[in-house]
Structure 1
């Protein structure tokens, strides 16, 4: 997972993967994973079951919508700036650009990112329905604001921006929510 996260799908070679797995033979690799793509799909699942859980609070109905979004942003910033693994978000950085032949890899990750967008949309729509945000709130626009910020953390983290700076930026982006609150 870390190799794909650091280098991306296309830049990670089969020989690098085999070496990382203890110098296993090509036949062992293919008998276990079938293909580099199949391994990548497993890595996506592994990422979502571990590091990707930082946004699962968006699905937590026990949290108020604003709290869920703010928690997702702060937890994501903390995870993405943690030097114990590659910086940034695997789902954002590992295949944003691919050759035409690997567009399906980019689409796999896009599908995962869409889940986060759907969770954000549901939080915001829930806040409108609960009367926490104005009835006239443009849910799609506000979703885009928070998703753009969330995914932008990846570039900031990869470029070495520290958690404290991003965390302070979360405080500022949440003022957008406050401007639409009742």
Structure 2
């Protein structure tokens, strides 16, 4: 998982995967165990999601106020992306940067679907904010959701570039100003 997370699907070679598994596994043994590099990548991605996929759970939780759900997601992401003990950033976001030239569209489609789930969660929060009366009815839900999703994906890249968590946490607070600019004015 860490090898794919650090290097992406395309840049990770079979030789590197075999070496990471240790014990001198042969290519035939690798294919007998995992079928293909693509199948192993999917398993690694499933493992990643089981360990770190809860970053966006607040976006899909109607019991959490919409603004708070967005804030929690961005703060959790910034923290996890910068933590020690694993590669920096997000495996799903990092996978978006590489191209798959092996002829298979399954990996890009899988990653796009995962990213789409987060984007849909941001969109749902904006819609809930409008419905609850927190945000103006004229708020462009799609654009606001894309702004948060772009920030969410962007901080993954910043973490890989070594931007520290303290800076990211402050940036998250500033990014929430985007939400606040769409807040419905209080009635006198």
Q: Given the two structures, how large is their TM-score scaled by the length of structure 1?
A: 0.94
Q: Given the two structures, how large is their TM-score scaled by the length of structure 2?
A: 0.91
Instruction: Tell me whether 1:25 sits opposite 2:29 in the alignment.
Output: no
List runs of 5+ in structure 1 lacking aligned partners: none
**Structure 2 equivalent of residue 58 of structure 1:** 59
CA distance in 2, matches of 1:57, 1:165: 23
CA distance in 1, matches of 2:65, 2:91: 27
Closer/same/farther in 2, CA of residues 45 and 99 from structure 1, 3 Å limit: closer
The 8 Å contact of residues 124 and 139 in structure 1, kept in 2 or not, is answered as: yes
| Structure number, greater radius of gyration | 2
The number of aligned residues is 182
Q: Where does 1:1-182 land on structure 2 (aligned, <5 Å)?
A: 1-22=1-22, 23-100=24-101, 101-182=103-184
1:95 deviates by 4.4
Spell out, residue by residue over 1:86-116, the C-alpha distance to the aligned partner (whole angstroms, 9 max, x if none): 1111001134221443544222211110111
The 8 Å contact of residues 10 and 95 in structure 1, kept in 2 or not, is answered as: no
Q: How large is the RMSD of aligned CA atoms in angstroms?
A: 1.3
Deviation >3 Å, runs of 4+: none
